[in-house]
Amino acid sequence: MIFAGVARIGNEPEVRYTKNGDPVVELNLAYNYGRRGDDGKKPTQWMYGSLWGKRAEVLLPYLNKGNQIFVQVQDLHVHEYEKKDGTKGVALRGRIGELELLAGRPEQKPSEHEKAKANGFQPEFDDDLPF
């Protein structure tokens, strides 16, 4: 099953690594669908999408909670798990195939280079290079 549509990122994503060292970013995605209810809001479907490989690391600085994205989630399936209170929970999970950032330029998280400069470290190269 494949889902494709506009969703919002519902959490601050973090990268983790597999035993082989491959990066994985998991996104909690909120997708609004259907007609507005009496409260004026559309129903929301939550799902988890995982982004793998180098692409996950490259996109991570641009993926912030609340950002709107177009996403295609492949291999969408129902995942059963045990909640903290011992009851059974279910969640939609899949692997992100396509991802496009929407709504203008996203706020970018500072890179390691920018963090180092902010802490007084000066790199050995000029930031004004034309390339």
Residue 112 inside a domain? The answer is: no
Q: Report the number of distinct structural domains present in the chain.
A: 1
For the chain, percent of residues with pLDDT exceeding 90: 70
Residue 87 inside a domain? The answer is: yes
The secondary element (H helix, E strand) that includes residue 66 is: none
Q: What is the pLDDT of residues 69-114, one digit of tens each?
A: 999 999 999 999 999 999 999 999 999 999 999 964 445 555 554 5
**What pLDDT, on the 0 to 100 scale, is given for residue 109?**
55
Cα(38)–Cα(124) distance, rounded to whole angstroms?
A: 60
Mean predicted confidence (pLDDT) in 38-49: 93
| 20: containing domain | 3-105
Residue 114 inside a domain? The answer is: no
CATH of the domain at 24: 2.40.50.140
Q: What is the pLDDT of residues 113-124, one digit of tens each?
A: 455 555 555 555
Residue 48 inside a domain? The answer is: yes
Q: Burial of 49 by CB count in 10 Å (0-12 exposed, 13-18 middle, 19+ buried)? A: buried
Residue 122 inside a domain? The answer is: no
Mean predicted confidence (pLDDT) in 33-49: 92
Residue 90 inside a domain? The answer is: yes
For the whole prediction, is pTM greater than 0.85? Answer: no
DSSP-based three-state secondary structure for 89: strand
Q: Does position 20 have pLDDT exceeding 80, yes or no?
A: yes
CB 43 within 8 A of CB 108: no
